[in-house]
Structure 1
Amino acid sequence: MSQALHDLLDLLDLEQIEENIFRGQSRSAVVPRVFGGQVAAQALVAAGRTVPADRHAHSLHAYFLRMGDPGAPIVYNVERIRDGRSFTTRRAVAVQHGRPIFALSASFQTYEEGLDHQTPMPPAPDPATLPTSQERLRGYGHLDAEIVARFMESREAIDLRYVDEPPYGQFGEPREPHSQVWFRTNGKLADDPLLHVVLATYVSDMTLLDSVLLAHGRGGWAVGDVVGASLDHAMWFHRPFRADEWLLYDQESPTAHGGRGLGQARIYTQDGRLAISVIQEGLVRVPR
């Protein structure tokens, strides 16, 4: 396991201070605020720790309410909404400085047999043939050195490989609003299913709005031509997967309007199983 992954797992390992209250540390990522994927992942950890071990997360729906302060801890208050025979529902609210910054609802289910079909996995090159995110970043001379350093630090725990150039690497000309990324953790994880779902949740907020930027030839905050932030986020976990094995994140944007852009995606295992569906709306403003 890489030191960066070890540090990330420590960040996601919350302190329980009451039966339904947890505390997590925070840190800034690429921008000087708490990374949204971190808050979502920590909230899912808090919710999951109040659920029986035989029930696994199958969906989450969340709203980003305020910008997180990377210099202060985050308190997660979990509400036990329902404990049914097959399903368990939890609500987790993240609080900093006495105000909610994030709210998540998550549902957990015991395993059962049922109907089974899926959309086929789209074609994508073998991840081993693609440059790492760090290798791509070193080749972008148009980016500020500090920005490159922040990007590289924020992704040290994750091996993330773009199939095509990311929006900040090749911008100016509109492209198809579609992006593919392979990812896995930089090291092996324990077998706990919640841990793998939490790590996928963490990564899911890194690149989902890329396709919005591609449609308009924008490079994003890294080149200063767009101001953005996550607004809401939803995920459905369809089939078992491991976050320490390659996952294909196939992303597209059907629309952008009114200062907001929508990203939707499917995440597949390397052998073609549809593991996760994701939808996110984000703030996408052009500076004036």
Structure 2
Amino acid sequence: MNEPLTPLDELLGLLDLEQIEENIFRGTTSHPTLVPRVFGGQVAAQALVAAGRTVPGDRPAHSLHSYFLRPGDPAVPIVYTVDRIRDGRSFTTRRVVAVQHGQPIFHLSASFQAHEEGLEHQEPMPAAPDPLSLPTAAEMLPAYTDLLGGPEVVQRILDTRDAVDLRYVDAPPFASVGEVREPKSQVWFRTNGKLDDDWLLHVCLATYVSDMTLLDSVLFAHGRGGWAVGDVVGASLDHAMWFHRPFRADEWLLYDQESPTAQGGRGLARGRIFTADGRLAVSVIQEGVVRVPRG
């Protein structure tokens, strides 16, 4: 008798794209979300998988730049077409278009680099408590059941993140509605289970998680609770990441996030992902729609 799939198994299956032609891949399922569209982190991670499948294994990704063009339909497979822009001696460049219903919903450009030695420095890791001293989502969320609209909503939130152990250092936006705070936030995260050593898998899982909480810092500056309580409408517009140093997504990573500005119905957020031993592994920048509902 086969063992039931774990949430991490299901997420890994989500990222294991079907190759239907040379340079063409298909994602057959979508992860559940709180809103009727595909989670942006899923599309970005799947697009990076498609790009990485066409690159030699000794060239890990060092950056990606992407735009979200249309909401993804969670009921329909997403097709990813890869354009092999350049294969140089040191760098490899790929462009990926995600398509549904005959229309592009997402564009990604990614660059991969062969290993080389060079100058090195980094910002120091900010202070943060031990992740094991913080409550899990399953321990924290039930306290906000009424605020979030009932146990069904709490369970849906847990279902969207069940493959990842994500722990807030401070209260999330929906727990501090009306409280204007410094536009900064921190979370620790790791996958709920061990992963293979494939570098592409770890980078793509970090890409997936990086879209979960980044715009929270925008909300803190205005005392807004976010999409979970309906006092703002939001969606990712673009997303960029730079992968500086090797890391494992199944080991604790600190995601330090802040928002320098919001204007015109848009908010900008940037993040830094550190390994538990203090190495700056990833830098992230995203702009998103952040609108106050009318009426």
Q: TM > 0.5 between the two? A: yes
Task: Pick the aligned partner of 1:271 from 244, 257, 277.
Answer: 277
Corresponding residue of 2:61: 57
Task: Pick the aligned partner of 2:149 from 102, 120, 144.
Answer: 144
Corresponding residue of 2:182: 176
Task: Pick the aligned partner of 2:133 from 125, 129, 133.
Answer: 129
List runs of 5+ in structure 2 lacking aligned partners: none
Q: Which runs of 4+ in 1 moved over 4 A?
A: none
Corresponding residue of 2:195: 189
> Residues 56-89 of structure 1, C-alpha deviation per residue, up to 9 Å, x if partnerless?
0000000000000000000000000000000000
Contact 2:236 2:289 in 1 (8 A): yes
C-alpha RMSD of the superposition: 1.0
TM-score (norm 2): 0.96
Contact 2:252 2:275 in 1 (8 A): yes
2:82 paired with 1:78: yes
1:1-288 to 2 correspondences below 5 Å: 3-27=6-30, 28-140=32-144, 141-145=146-150, 146-288=152-294
Shift of 1:2: 7.1
Query: Kindly tell me: are residues 2 and 72 of structure 1, through their superposed partners in 2, closer, same or farther at Cα, counting changes over 3 Å?
Result: closer
Shift of 1:147: 2.1
Aligned-partner Cα distance in 1 for 2:41–2:202: 14
Aligned-partner Cα distance in 2 for 1:200–1:76: 20
Amino acid corresponding to residue 40 of structure 2 in structure 1 = G
Identity %: 77
Aligned-partner Cα distance in 1 for 2:268–2:137: 24
Structure 1 range deviating more: 5-14 or 144-153: 144-153
Shift of 1:134: 2.0
Aligned-partner Cα distance in 2 for 1:38–1:75: 13
Amino acid corresponding to residue 124 of structure 1 in structure 2 = A
TM-score (norm 1): 0.99
Aligned-partner Cα distance in 2 for 1:284–1:26: 28
Query: Kindly tell me: are residues 244 and 80 of structure 1, through their superposed partners in 2, closer, same or farther at Cα, counting changes over 3 Å?
Result: same
Aligned-partner Cα distance in 1 for 2:209–2:138: 16
Q: SS in structure 2 opposite 1:117?
A: coil
